[in-house]
Structure 1
Amino acid sequence: MDADAGGVGLGRRAVRIGSVCLRHLGAALFRRGDSASGRLAEAAPAMLSELGPFYVKVGQLLSTRRDLLPDNWCTELARLTDTVPAVPREALTAVLTEGYGPPEQWPFREFDWEPVGSGSIATVHRAVLADGRVVAVKVRRPGIVPVMTGDFRLAGALARATRWLPGLRRLPAEEMLGQVGTAVLAQADLAAERASLEQLRANLAEVKGVLLPGPVAELCRDQVLVMEFLDDLREFRPEPYSAQERRQSMQRVLRTVYQMLFLDGLVHCDLHPGNLRLNAAGDVVLLDAGFVVRLPDRVRRHFGEFFLNMAFGRGARCAEVVIESAAQVPKGFDRDGFQAAVVQLVEESSALVAGDFNLAAFAPRLFKLQRRYGIYAAAEFAFPLLSLLVLEGMIHSFDPGVDFQGEAVPVLLQAVGLPVD
């Protein structure tokens, strides 16, 4: 991020953004090689990294949107990394002082200035309270909200300008920005994250072997989220668990995700290896509720109905659900052609032996069909589906034999009010 970004006016920031974009895009367009779209895709990661954290996070989310972007764009954007230096101690002190008063009034008996996690929006620190409880303290970076809000406004102008660029004219840039930009800004709202954590914990309280850190409500502030510190966490990989322990853990993960998707409608959409962990007992631990999507009841029902009909091989109804839940259906839409293509896709998937279904193979084909017929999925539908793709790869590496559809069906039947045998 530009060192002086928080203090400059929007106009000066706009000039800076325009200059960076023109330099990268101009160089890509005038360079010989692949198509204009291919050259622009290759230039995007370096350009977004130079523009700052808002654009990096937008790019990261867009890299998952294979329903909207061609594969080469998603591949290039997936190279973006959210590696940001830690906040200087003086700046952290200022934020904590604003929240709690001078240091002698802070509720922390100990505070580790070296963060256990450092992102573009916040850093996370281990601390000990006066009563001896160990907590995780998430501190929002000073000045990040006005910078990101201003960048969101400027990005809107940039998205509108893409309609004039060769290779980008067909991309629904404004729609994409509206979806992913809003999701990025929401990750800076620590009060919303606290509320999401509390609601997720309540929703999943009956799911055995699933843990989320509990907020310490009385110590949370606008720029500070204080939570229970969960220690002895392990990376999401098979060792040293037995085959039975691995299967049980993966069943817990799937039961948790399916309950969020099909029953509760409050979905953690950022379950990458950093946020999905296991402890020594094999319990599943969910961290960082900054990117949580609340599914409207209509979308939740559509989502469940799509998966249930897919599991039973009812491709025609799957196609109708996609159409009904779409954010955009073009004029002159070829409904019959789209439905026939989805029916074929679902029939091919239904022919697989139980446990062999692969969402990572199914979803990109569905996304390509949506792009071909001009259907753009609503963000509430797309983000949970795409988070499942990330999760599927992690689970298959942990337990290749897990049956995604088989684990989903009992929850889906419960969601639609049918008896579960």
Structure 2
Amino acid sequence: MLNFLKQTRRFVNSAEPVCIVLGNESCDLDSAVCAVTLAYHYQQQNATTNSQIKRKFLPVLNIPRRDYALKTEVHYVFRQHAIAVEHLTFRDDLQQDFLARSEFILVDHHVSPFATRCLEVFDHRTFDDAAHLTNDCKLHIELVGSCATLIAEELLKSTTVTTPADAAAQVTLYTLLRSTIVLDTVNFSEAANRATPKDIEICGKLEELLIKLSNGKPLIARTKLFDTLVAARADISSLTAMQLLRKDLKVLTNRDGSVIIAIPGFPLLVQEFIKKPDAAAAVKAFAVETNAAIVLLMGMLVENGAVRRDIGLVDFKNIGLCQTIREKLWATTEPALCLQHYEHCDFLDGCFYKMGNIKATRKHILPLVKQILDQMQN
């Protein structure tokens, strides 16, 4: 794996055709691991087939290089496999002319400005009709708990071991994918309701293979693995409030791009974030940097196996739109968020709520907000 990543650095901005395996803009562990493992798998397959089309596969983390420090769980997991920042390729490493002549495989998302040159998609979201993918794009879209489940399923179709090097590489691949599935499904928690039968099946197969490849050596228990990953994701001790706002960011716009809503996600509750001494100044500066009309803050805390969530809406440019979003979130039943208003919270004149339905995630809230934005043009 490490040798593969070192070799891919030579592909960056090269004149020859490259297929970029691109994760989504949140660059969470699921997105990063899926991009790296699938690119490795396809590069190995490509080297051993007789296909007349020989592609080079380049995994790309879809964030600026400066933001890698914010992805604490990604940094932690990759470091366990000796994968350092200099071995990785980031969005801002790539020149526009290189992007224009490249092909793409999208993982953990399927709406992209590169959709018309996309060969294949792996995603665990509901299909978005606005994706504009071509008819010959191969789709692997299924509502599972982790996109890593779909990538692992693909790898398991054709993976064989012929040398000790193959075995070592597969241990790395399977360990990365297993860790991601365990984290994404909240360790298969019934309360979180993220895991599907396929997540359970594929994770089990990975564990069987890992034990076999290590000659029966026991794996780190899922609970311990999950707790370690959650701790790594929540390790924000060195991050400023501004870095926290960029750590897990989604951005939505209306059809013509004139209205922007920034949606940062935190590995802590919003109510704790806004208590930070520099929080107000950071949110104001962040709104200017992103040109956001509204900042929708989303917090999640996992503690002793229990999940807590809350949200906050802060208006900067469009009080009417902010009120519409607030009413939509309050009234929605698919799923019901079960919002409870935090009284006496006057941070930047925003509105803040505890989410009673901990099964409702940002994945559920994004389509609701996007629908409102799209209707602005009607």
Output the TM-score relative to the length of structure 1: 0.26
In our comparison, the structure showing a higher alpha carbon Rg is: 1
Output the TM-score relative to the length of structure 2: 0.28
Query: Which has the larger helix fraction?
Result: 1
Query: Which has the larger strand fraction?
Result: 2
